[in-house]
Chain A
């Protein structure tokens, strides 16, 4: 039996959603035009006025926003309300360029929490549950988002934050955590640690909500097995609010975008042209309810597909696929496109840990790709030949997947930093950008 946090909106008819979107978009464009000089200039340059936007059919007329705009307008340039009306900021880890700083009014926080509450209820969460939040708290949106969502549901919330794995496991066993929220790589690590300690039968977890990082179906199966749970995906970005922009339901075939708050488009990343439903392209979001930081047509750089296929869960909101890569995360090695998820798939299929590091370098004007993998007891042998055979199998499997040679370097266990936030998977020593 499927449960919903807000059934009237989560299962609303397409007509109702469009009506809501039309009304909210028109209002939002006016709000932004009147209060955000930076975007007003962009609209003026494009010759678009708020009056031109009468419904979502006119959305394509609006200019895009990118991470560069956020950098240019830093810190207050895109804030649409007086600072005195803002109650919170959240920020990204900001590994490339200057960090993103997003602002929230109390109303914005309430709506964000409701989005996260929908995600928690979708995985079976109720007020009887113990929600264990191991996302980082603080500037990172992960912890505060799921924390707020859990409060809205009325679950007992464990604000664990990231790190201190021993304590995480102790709380989990002592307080009977039933829903785990963290990054998928940390979930994998927790699963590994719990099994190492022989505590699997002492945990009560039934579901996990894992996001903020790319992960594969293989990794999902791995986590589900090691923790004995159902693992669900959640998606979001600080620019738009945080986790809960979209979330997975029982069908586990994509994430429902909260369309009463965010309008999604898929565009051709090269031309900016809007693509029809079902085509793969860059995901673009328009916030239609945010007061403090209302981004219109924000380019996420995430490549994915939207689907309006009827979902067995009963929700009517459009579903997005798991991001298939980022237009700025993809590696080009020896002219070949390499996605870290491809390497992860090979490693998991070959029985290695999902913990790995990709090192790209340029030696004598030629790219090199090295994959560092941790040795496992299963792979180890006293015989050099046997280890060499396994290493060769991995090299061949990577070659088959990627189309290029990747050197495999077997390293000692636990030497590749376990992520308690976002995993550093790629070290690109070429510094091409």
Chain B
């Protein structure tokens, strides 16, 4: 159970992110989640959107370098210690976490975390066994 994440190469200079966001906005692409990893000269924007196929097409057409990969989106009750359960489960199973970012929605009492691990299948299995709920693409889009 994974969701599709779009990554985009952005140069580290004023207006770059705005340019991309404007393109998404002009094309009515709705973002569900977003994070930026920054290096000295460039950044990697990661987003989860409602219409991945079209978004990628539009981003490519605009001349950006982009890629799509599968990540896990975990639903976590909005209370202290809830994330720890997920991380502990991964740690015990010796699954390395590449990066993670959280997002919330209008839904009350629930937070969500995107997890990028090397082995999605194994991680999904481990988390499932612990009763941790993961979102599929469809549910993600309907949030």
Contact = CB atoms under 8 A, between A and B. Distances in A.
A316 to B, nearest CB: 50
A384 B37 contact: yes
B67 A413 contact: no
A170 B67 CA distance: 30
Contacts of B5: 382
B65 A412 contact: yes
A367 to B, nearest CB: 20
A381 B11 CA distance: 14
Contact of B44 (A382, A411, A414, A415): A382
A293 B113 CA distance: 75
5 contacts: A382-B67, A382-B69, A410-B42, A412-B64, A413-B65
Given A375-B9, A387-B39, A412-B11, A380 B66 contact: yes
B99 to A, nearest CB: 7
A409 B13 CA distance: 13
A377 interface: yes
B39 A388 contact: yes
B63 A412 contact: yes
Interface string A364-393: 000000000001110011111101100000
A385 B97 CA distance: 12
Interface in B13-55: 16, 37, 39, 41-42, 44, 46
B116 A413 contact: no
B10 interface: yes
Contacts, number: 54
Given A384-B39, A410-B42, A377 B67 contact: yes
Given A383-B98, A412-B11, A375 B65 contact: yes
Nearest to B39: A384
B7 interface: yes
8 tightest A-B CB contacts, nearest first: A382-B7, A384-B37, A380-B65, A375-B65, A375-B9, A412-B11, A409-B41, A380-B9
B63 A380 contact: no
B103 to A, nearest CB: 16
Nearest to B118: A383
B119 to A, nearest CB: 14
Interface of A: 375-377, 380-385, 387-388, 409-415
B65 A385 contact: no
Given A382-B46, A385-B98, 13 more contacts: A377-B65, A380-B65, A380-B66, A382-B67, A382-B116, A383-B44, A383-B99, A387-B44, A388-B39, A411-B11, A411-B41, A412-B9, A412-B16
Contacts of B42: 375, 387, 410-411
Contacts of A377: 65-67
Contacts of B10: 412
A377 B59 CA distance: 12
Nearest to A409: B41
Contact of A414 (B9, B46, B63): B63
A376 to B, nearest CB: 7
Nearest to B10: A412
B98 to A, nearest CB: 6
Given A384-B37, A385-B98, A413 B44 contact: no
A387 B16 CA distance: 19
A137 B2 CA distance: 56
Nearest to B43: A384
Contacts of B63: 412-414
A179 B75 CA distance: 61
Interface-centre pick from B7, B9, B16 (highest chain A CB count, 10 A): B9
A376 B69 CA distance: 17
Contacts of A376: 65
Nearest to B67: A380
Contacts of A375: 9, 42, 65
A411 B42 CA distance: 8
A380 B42 CA distance: 12
Contact of A380 (B7, B37, B99): B7
Contacts of B37: 384
Interface-centre pick from A384, A385, A414, A415 (highest chain B CB count, 10 A): A384
Nearest to A385: B98
Nearest to B60: A377
A415 B19 CA distance: 15
B65 A381 contact: no
A277 to B, nearest CB: 48
Nearest to B40: A409
A251 B117 CA distance: 53
A415 B39 CA distance: 19
Nearest to B19: A412
A384 B65 CA distance: 14
A414 B65 CA distance: 10
Contacts of B9: 375, 380, 410, 412
Contacts of B69: 382
A217 to B, nearest CB: 27
Contacts of A380: 7, 9, 65-67
Contacts of B41: 409-411
